[in-house]
Amino acid sequence: MKLRELLGGLEIIGSTADMNSEIAGVSYDSRRVRPGDVFVAIRGFNCDGHGHIADAAANGAVCAVTQGDAAGGVMPYVSVENTREALAVMSANLFGRPADKLKIIGVTGTNGKTTVTCLIKEIIERATGAKVGLIGTIRNMVGGEEMHTEFTTPESYELHELFTAMVEAGCEYAVMEVSSHALALDRVYGIEFDTGVFTNLTAEHLDFHKSMEEYGGAKSKLFRQCRRGVVNLDDDFSRVIMDSARDSRIEFTSFSALRDEADLVAKRIKLYSDRTEFCALTIGVLQKVELGIPGMFSVYNALAAMSAAMLMGIGVREAAGALGECPGVPGRAEVAPTGRDFTVLIDYAHTPDALEKIITAVRQGAGGRVVTMFGCGGDRDKTKRPIMGELAARLSDFIIVTTDNPRTENPDAIIGDILAGIDRENTPHVVIEDRREAIKWAIDNSRAGDVLILAGKGHETYQILGTERVPFDEREIVARSLAHDK
């Protein structure tokens, strides 16, 4: 591909490069540059790519794309206003604009993104038979093939690489989580989404965004790149999103569990320890929905997925039928089969907000005790440990304090920080440092009607001890513990 073609659609401020030169590829990491590549210099948080232009040249780069004349005569350059936007446009051009060949559904919000994307994928595939790609926190999927993931939303180069794989595999749709980081850092710049979905907005990532206004503003950016939008009318920020996208003439649909004016409303909600039931009401249709994921948040996640499906021409009845067959989402209020008279849930909750939500959700449908097992990550934010301890103690009937990923920190010190919060309440608790032994103890001591929440690991199938990742799949450990207990 010629440099001119690679840069198509970009406004160039200055250049010393030959626009007719042949380009082998694109790289934004000087260590991964191959001969014939264009190196895009990105200003990151810990490293500025402009300081590694010489390294890129030494590895064979033939041109640098920079913000300003920063090449210093080391190699030819092309100057643009924003190299993050440039990387997104160049990546799309390099791979032949694969996003244009897919119907892309983007899901943003503080909570629920992973579950909603998985539910949308299930509905489309089961209702239409179409092949669907998935991009998100716990996995990337091309149809039924699972691929490695590192970020909720990949960098733009890897994103268009994934889109290419989806197109080549015959996918018609791509459903993806769109994080606030990705929107702020232009990872999805230039992509036209068929549908954008907003779940909710609560305080998170304020170390990055600095304020709720900035955080919400990042979320709103998605809907200026969408043809259609889905919003949660029970979250006040939905009004802000709709107002901010007014000039783009986007078509919005809404869902709610509280407001009858929404386009899709949940009625007759019933919450159980292992599932959720409600009736979905829209014009001319009242349809019963059953989802094998407990909690009020599951009602909202189901409504969001069904609303997106409706915009794609899938009827409420077809969407409800697909949800009824959905096996759930790994590590998100995941029901582990027990064959006993108690319920075990595996959930990724590892922050105060997430832990509060899962315990509160379980409390709404529990017939017996709510037993919460959790720890906190080592070498990470210590301030949240007593907060999570206090929350668990206030909301649970019994607590098992254990490890999460202690990493290089002393597990006793982590547990001590958690206990400082628990001690503010009088909730019964036990400390079992070894997480495997803690699960076995929890299974052995469960009572009829109990709901046991295993919080913190979720979809992860490893535990980080020191600097080593060791295999640790809670589903397998639960199954073995149940077999041993018979």
- CATH architecture of the domain 3-84 equals 3-Layer(aba) Sandwich (3.40)
Mean pLDDT of 122-132: 96
Mean pLDDT of 154-175: 96
pLDDT reading at 382 higher than 70: yes
Confidence of residue 45 (pLDDT cuts 50, 70, 90): confident
pLDDT reading at 208 higher than 80: no
Query: Class assignment of domain 334-485?
Result: alpha beta
Confidence of residue 407 (pLDDT cuts 50, 70, 90): very high
Report the C-alpha gap between 413 and 407 in whole angstroms: 12
Three-class HEC string of 338-372: CCCCCEEEEECCCCHHHHHHHHHHHHHHCCCCEEE
Helix (H) / strand (E) containing 336: strand 334-336
The pLDDT value recorded for residue 120 is 98
Question: Residue-wise over 311-327: b if at least 16 C-beta within 10 A, else e?
Answer: bbebebebbbbbbeebe
Q: Which two tokens stand for residue 167?
A: 């197109």
Is 176 within 8 Å of 136 (Cβ atoms)? yes
Q: Indicate the CATH number for domain 98-325.
A: 3.40.1190.10
The pLDDT value recorded for residue 205 is 52
Alpha helices in 273-351 (DSSP H): 296-311, 316-325
Give how far the C-alpha of residue 411 lies from the chain's centroid of Cα atoms, to the nearest Å. Answer: 28
How many percent of the chain have pLDDT more than 70? 96
Could you give the residue range(s) of every CATH 3.40.1190.10 domain in the chain? 98-325
Antiparallel, parallel or unpaired: β 14-15 and 77-79: antiparallel
Confidence of residue 101 (pLDDT cuts 50, 70, 90): very high
* pLDDT tens, position by position, 167-205: 999 999 999 999 888 888 889 999 999 999 999 987 555
* pLDDT tens, position by position, 1-16: 999 999 999 999 999 9
Q: Helices 156-168 and 83-94, interaxial angle, to 10°? A: 20
Which residues, 6 or more positions from 271, have their beta carbon under 8 angstroms from its beta carbon? 294, 295, 296, 361, 364, 365
Of 90, 70, 59, the closest CA to residue 15 belongs to 70
Is 338 within 8 Å of 344 (Cβ atoms)? yes
Burial class (CB within 10 angstroms; exposed 0-12, middle 13-18, buried 19+) of 477: buried
Q: How high is the mean pLDDT of the chain?
A: 93
The pLDDT value recorded for residue 207 is 57
SS3 (DSSP) at 51: helix
| Separation in Å, CA 418 to CA 64, 367, 373 | 49, 27, 12
**187: amino acid identity, one letter:** R
* pLDDT tens, position by position, 232-251: 999 999 998 998 887 778 99
Mean pLDDT of 258-263: 97
Antiparallel, parallel or unpaired: β 103-108 and 77-79: unpaired
The pLDDT value recorded for residue 327 is 85
SS3 (DSSP) at 98: helix
pLDDT reading at 213 higher than 80: no
Report the C-alpha gap between 286 and 266 in whole angstroms: 9
* pLDDT tens, position by position, 344-375: 999 999 989 889 999 999 998 898 999 999 99
- Residue pointed to by tokens 């005790």: 369
Q: Phi, psi (5° rounding) for residue 81?
A: -75, -35
Q: What is the DSSP string of 403-425?
A: -S--BTS-HHHHHHHHHHHHTTS
Could you give the residue range(s) of every CATH 3.90.190.20 domain in the chain? 334-485
Confidence of residue 33 (pLDDT cuts 50, 70, 90): very high
Is 133 within 8 Å of 333 (Cβ atoms)? no
pLDDT reading at 226 higher than 90: yes
* pLDDT tens, position by position, 282-333: 999 999 999 999 999 999 999 999 999 999 999 999 999 999 999 888 999 9
pLDDT reading at 91 higher than 70: yes
Mean pLDDT of 156-175: 96
